[in-house]
Structure 1
Amino acid sequence: MDINRRRLLRAGLGVSAILALAACGNGSPGSTDGASGPPRPGGTLRVGALGKSSKIERDPHATLSNDSDFLIMSLLYDPLTVPGADPNVAPRLAARWEADKDQRNWTFTLADGASFHDGRPVTSADVVWSLRRLREMAGETKVPVSSVADIRPAGPNAVVLTCAAPNSQLPLLLRMMTFVVPEGTTDFARGVGSGPFRLESFDRGNARLVRNETWHGGPPLLDAIEVTLFESPESMSNAIMAGQIDLASSVGAVAGRTAESRGDLKVVRRPDDVAVAIAMRTSDGPFADPRVREALRLIVDRDAMVAQVLSGYGTVANDVLGTADPSFDRSLPQRTRDIDRAKALLAEAGFDTSKTYRLVTKQEAAGEVESARVFAAQAGDAGLKIEVVVQEANDFYDRTWLRAPFYTVNWGTNDSVVFFASKVMTSQTAWNETDFADPAFDKAYARALAAPAGAEFVEASREIQRIQYDRGGYLVWGMADGIDIAAASVQGLPDLGGYGRVQLERAWLSS
């Protein structure tokens, strides 16, 4: 599992050759939610975030399994780029970027005045050292270049990344991945970064962060943010209901329904936030025949899944990841339940309906286990016997993920088809969840990366989607809304999904 595989949250569709935006105010937008008067400074925001005490991590380049750790890192350290609204890639430590005509060499220019919490200026040497360290630790999944030699300085305030092939989406693929630390840092106990908050204290996964008055993006309004680790959504929901915290992130539909009846609380819904899907192994095993995968996609009652699993906090999906992508192909026929056709396809494929098939799931995303159980019940209408096996999340990623023939996954990176292709579907990726190796898909993906913004890119993106729709390994039945609960006094919260939800630097308290 990797940062953060479980919630690779929200990434955006790419940028054209040059995107020069101010560092302040172009990230995830916030809303005052009807508060009167201008934003006011001061106060401490108490935030709850999920995590396991056994998985606490202080190194921003290591595996971050905990949402709590990722939230802390995103406030202490600056990545080069972050999610935005329109366009959906915004500057952070990089003030601007541009590619050469071949879209292989990308130059990222650092924000003016960027400095670390200890006063040292951020230089290209710091960025190069950080990206090379990240590339060595995490591979091309996080820094898509062939080797550390492809990351080099371009003077004191810029860096160049050289891709092995044209890559129009590099700023997208770097979003919230590239936390920068001072050159040579190996001890991260002090949390010295260049982000909007500084570390005041850290205790067993809980942290107090205070405003960085000299942040290059402009000082935050809040005096401090206190992050509390919660081991379960239920305990976090209880804390927000009792007034022990001011913000609970990704709490799920049940807690959202309860909070809606409370005048002292508000619910922030982030549409298209999380896909809770079923992965079917395509290379071998019982689901290798595309007719079998098609049959399972026809068995599911999508409307019932959204109603039962998501309590209506979501929408029906159509077996393609990246539903909020501007190039999403809405001309693909919406799949609906067709049991007779599903049975016919299973018979044609010689699928053995006398066996019982294990669908492995885990207590991770809200509704994930319930989705497996509801699907298993629906599959019985077509004569399939499915046993739902619930694993502890860490055990799941150690034993099941990337190996089992049939398991649930959850992803929150839903505004880019190409992002998903890059991370989980091309034959070269280390995270190929369905072991999907399709030469036509790989070719379409390469075309998309090489294409400039416009019609050529859209057509390549739609070819990726058509192949995924026809013969891919995912059953994507619906999209869950992200649901955050906040005290009525909390204003300026980000309303983008995925990665965008950790951008709390513009939040403020009205009382």
Structure 2
Amino acid sequence: MELNRRQVFKAGLGLSAVLALAACTDGSSPSDSSGGTPQRGGTLRFGAIGKSSKIERDPHETMSNESDFLIMSLVYDPLTVPGTDPNVAPRLASTWESDREQRNWTFTIADGARFHDGRPVTSEDVVWSLRRLRAAGGETKVPVASVDDINPTGPNAVVLTCAAPNSQMPLLLRMMTFVLPKGTADVTEAIGTGPFRLESYDNGNARLVRNDDWYGGAPLLDAIEVTLFESPEAMANAIMAGQIDVASSVGAVAGRMAETRDDLEVFRRPNDVAVAIAMRTSDGPFADPRVREALRLAVDREAMVSQVLSGYGTVANDILGTADPTFDASIPQRARDLDRARKLLSEAKFDTKKTYQLVTKQEAAGEVESAKVFASQAKEIGLDIEVVVQEANAFYDATWLKAPLYTVNWGTNDSVMFFASKVMYSRTKWNETNFHDQTFDKAYATALAAPPGAEFTKASRAIQQIQYDRGGYIVWGMADGIDIASSSVRDLPKLGGYGRVQLERVWLSN
């Protein structure tokens, strides 16, 4: 039934009961750990990172700004969202089920779902939105072969038909499938189904007001004001000065400063952000897997976590999806080995007389610093790396998906399959390391076809082993998500990754 691997799959049996339980336990409605009765009213001033040059108003285009993604997630609803246990929870889709072959997935629209202008949500709206998203983002965003594989089945349900068995469909649709009214011509009108309605918008900053008719129950806040900040430092200064109530994903340095303040509270979300280094695998200086292994062996991971994350994080093992229930802790933790790294470079006849550029940008907290610390460590194996800091616009236009060596950051880490589908599978649009590995693709297909349990876990771990052995990423550590909030802010989401934008149950105390 539910796609999560910790549930027993048996299509159609007991589905509603499991999803009802998931709705009660997902991360969108965490209990108030500080005590007190939730109160209605007030405006939450929320800071989020973004670049004015990268503002995106279309919910079906790629969003690089945290501020844009936050606004979209409050205005629009996707079919599914992150949860706790299981890690997929219902949203606009109240239930889902597949046939026994796991090729045809049926999603049923939540009772009472309406757009902000009062129109009921129909299967025609969902089909139109998913087809539009598939056309814009390809299989990376909607994992079906073509738009013709997305169809209505009655007035309140849609069916997605996969070319091959896919046990992970609901997970792969999380936070991607924003639904708009069929035929929407002007996305700036922002007519969605979400818990908040857009009242005003100005250059990346927005005021959103409560949607009293939201099918999930009216939010507690009267309004949320989202402010775009160009850097974590600017956002940290704003929360310290009392200009905002929440600084989201603000970073470890600000967290340390806020811990000394009685009027502020620091929230840590473990396994929240991967600030990794992407090495191009298909051609160029890092195409030889021996070279990639050498670079991984050059990293002093404990020092990286200490220096870059100020201790707000944990050492990682070059595998994305560290909070996945199937994460393979039996794979030996890769440790620094300078002699072995030098030997591998020599065997690969790597040219250590050249200088290699590592391109980064001021996006995730600590991202630029991570590049600088890595470059310093790599000198010890004879590798000369020049750190180049690009403006975000130039980075995504000229560097991302193209350069031999650059930093990346990802804000969800509870699924190995999420990353396999989005950034490593050969056919994905976002193949950051240009990784084309037939064995990996086969393991990915096997995992999609496997039912939850031992068979799926085995396939997931095969994917992880390939990443560890010859993948294109250096995943040296996992950063805690650091939110700083005024002491009056209650019930911020506890989930990491994309779950942090589910703000409908946040409230303000007096």
Structure 2 counterparts to residues 10-409 of structure 1, below 5 A: 16=9, 17=11, 19-20=15-16, 21-22=19-20, 25-31=24-30, 34-409=33-408
- Alpha-carbon distance change, 220 to 443 in structure 1, aligned in 2, over 3 angstroms: same
Output the CA distance in 2 between the equivalents of 1:447 and 1:503.
32
Give the residue type in structure 2 aligned to 1:328: F
Output the CA distance in 1 between the equivalents of 2:333 and 2:63.
36
- Alpha-carbon distance change, 57 to 355 in structure 1, aligned in 2, over 3 angstroms: closer
Give the residue type in structure 2 aligned to 1:306: V
Determine if contact 1:12/1:415 at 8 Å carries over to the other structure.
Answer: no
Output the CA distance in 2 between the equivalents of 1:479 and 1:363.
18
* TM superposition shift of 1:114: 0.7
Give the residue type in structure 1 aligned to 2:219: P
* TM superposition shift of 1:12: 7.9
Give the residue type in structure 1 aligned to 2:449: A
Determine if contact 1:379/1:385 at 8 Å carries over to the other structure.
Answer: yes
* TM superposition shift of 1:430: 1.8
Determine if contact 1:14/1:168 at 8 Å carries over to the other structure.
Answer: no
Query: Secondary structure of the equivalent of 1:294?
Result: helix
Residue matched to 2:414: 415
Give the residue type in structure 2 aligned to 1:185: T
* TM superposition shift of 1:14: 8.5
Output the CA distance in 1 between the equivalents of 2:6 and 2:152.
23
Q: Which ranges of structure 1 fall in alignment gaps of 5 or more residues?
A: 1-10
* TM superposition shift of 1:13: 6.6
Output the CA distance in 2 between the equivalents of 1:136 and 1:43.
40
Deviates more, 1:403-412 or 1:16-25: 16-25
Give the residue type in structure 2 aligned to 1:329: D
- Alpha-carbon distance change, 407 to 337 in structure 1, aligned in 2, over 3 angstroms: same
User: What is the CA deviation profile of residues 434-489 of structure 1, one whole-angstrom value per residue up to 9, with x for unaligned ones?
Assistant: 11111111110000000000000000000001111111111110000111110001
User: What is the CA deviation profile of residues 28-87 of structure 1, one whole-angstrom value per residue up to 9, with x for unaligned ones?
Assistant: 255555433221111111111122223322221223232212111111111100001111
Query: Secondary structure of the equivalent of 1:494?
Result: coil
Output the CA distance in 2 between the equivalents of 1:104 and 1:35.
45
Query: Secondary structure of the equivalent of 1:85?
Result: coil
- Alpha-carbon distance change, 287 to 363 in structure 1, aligned in 2, over 3 angstroms: same
User: What is the CA deviation profile of residues 136-194 of structure 1, one whole-angstrom value per residue up to 9, with x for unaligned ones?
Assistant: 12211111111111110010000000111111111011101111111111113332111
Give the paired residue count: 501
Residue matched to 2:455: 456
Q: Which ranges of structure 2 fall in alignment gaps of 5 or more residues?
A: none
- Alpha-carbon distance change, 450 to 211 in structure 1, aligned in 2, over 3 angstroms: same
Query: Secondary structure of the equivalent of 1:71?
Result: helix
Structure 2 counterparts to residues 405-484 of structure 1, below 5 A: 405-484=404-483
* TM superposition shift of 1:225: 0.9
Relative to the length of structure 1, the TM-score reads 0.95
Output the CA distance in 2 between the equivalents of 1:322 and 1:434.
16
Determine if contact 2:23/2:89 at 8 Å carries over to the other structure.
Answer: no
* TM superposition shift of 1:236: 1.2
Determine if contact 2:375/2:387 at 8 Å carries over to the other structure.
Answer: yes
- Alpha-carbon distance change, 245 to 78 in structure 1, aligned in 2, over 3 angstroms: same
Output the CA distance in 2 between the equivalents of 1:62 and 1:440.
31
Output the CA distance in 2 between the equivalents of 1:236 and 1:32.
27
Give the residue type in structure 2 aligned to 1:35: S
Output the CA distance in 2 between the equivalents of 1:376 and 1:12.
39
Determine if contact 2:400/2:432 at 8 Å carries over to the other structure.
Answer: yes
Output the CA distance in 2 between the equivalents of 1:237 and 1:30.
26
Q: RMSD of the alignment, in Å?
A: 1.6
Residue matched to 2:507: 508
Residue matched to 1:6: none
Output the CA distance in 1 between the equivalents of 2:202 and 2:4.
34
